[in-house]
């Protein structure tokens, strides 16, 4: 009996399930069936992002490689100007507990959930909750950062 894995697209937020982490018999990463994005992040359990959640895909060094659904709406940052920048710098992230949760997820390849964070939102600062998912692959690494705005700014 095969085990199904949960996946989420960093570009459009579409969730999917599959028994294989690769695309068919190839060693290529699974792509998004909805928007065609090149790769998905695997989730250890099902995750339902809020409708206003913002998605940021980062490489193994924590640099932004794509800004997905909701990213511009939350931060006002355009994908073209964000790509290649360290996510901490580009989004001016500030975790109130003083811990760099993105570095933790990258170093230990663990999911970090429900961490309060303050993020640049245009000219202002906004409160959000960060969920960070490591890339479970053998080569590339990286993280998916999902920021869910809270009611207060």
Kindly report, residue by residue over 51-110, the tens digit of the pLDDT: 899 999 999 999 999 999 899 999 999 999 999 999 999 999 999 999 999 999 999 989
* Other Cβ atoms within 10 Å of 151 Cβ, number: 5
Strands (DSSP E) contained in 50-105 are: 54-58, 64-67
CA 62 to CA 39: how far, in whole Å? 17
DSSP state of 22: B
The tens digit of pLDDT for each residue in 7-42 reads: 899 999 898 888 766 655 556 777 899 999 988 888
Give the CB-side neighbour count of residue 143, counting CA atoms within 13 A.
Answer: 26
- The predicted model gives 124-150 an average pLDDT of 89
User: How sure is the predictor about 47, in pLDDT bands with cuts at 50, 70 and 90?
Assistant: confident
Is the per-residue pLDDT at 138 higher than 90? no
Domain that holds residue 107: 5-149
> What's the pLDDT score for residue 27?
65
Domain count, the chain: 1
C-alpha distances in Å from residue 78, one per residue of 22, 47, 96, 125: 30, 26, 26, 17
- The predicted model gives 104-132 an average pLDDT of 93
CA 127 to CA 153: how far, in whole Å? 6
φ, ψ for residue 108 (rounded to 5)? -100, -5
Give the CB-side neighbour count of residue 5, counting CA atoms within 13 A.
Answer: 14
> What's the pLDDT score for residue 83?
95
CA 64 to CA 90: how far, in whole Å? 8
What angle (nearest 5°) sits at the alpha carbon of residue 51, between those of residues 125 and 150?
30
Torsion from C-alpha of 106, 68, 71, 118, nearest 10 degrees: -20
> What's the pLDDT score for residue 153?
47
Which CATH number covers residue 54?
A: 3.30.450.20
């Amino acid at each position: 009996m095969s085990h199904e894995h949960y996946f989420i697209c960093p570009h459009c937020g579409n969730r999917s399930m599959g028994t294989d982490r690769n695309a068919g018999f190839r060693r290529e990463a699974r792509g998004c069936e909805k928007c065609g994005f090149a790769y998905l992040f695997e989730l250890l359990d099902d995750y339902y992002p809020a409708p206003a959640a913002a998605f940021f895909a980062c490489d193994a060094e924590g640099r932004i490689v794509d800004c997905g659904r909701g990213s511009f709406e939350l931060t006002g940052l355009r994908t073209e100007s964000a790509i290649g920048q360290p996510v901490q710098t580009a989004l001016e992230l500030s975790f109130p507990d003083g811990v760099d949760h993105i570095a933790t997820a990258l170093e230990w390849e663990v999911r970090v959930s429900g961490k309060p964070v303050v993020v640049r939102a245009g000219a202002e600062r906004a409160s959000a909750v960060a969920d960070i998912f490591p890339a479970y692959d053998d080569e590339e690494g990286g993280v998916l950062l999902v920021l869910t705005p809270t009611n207060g700014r």
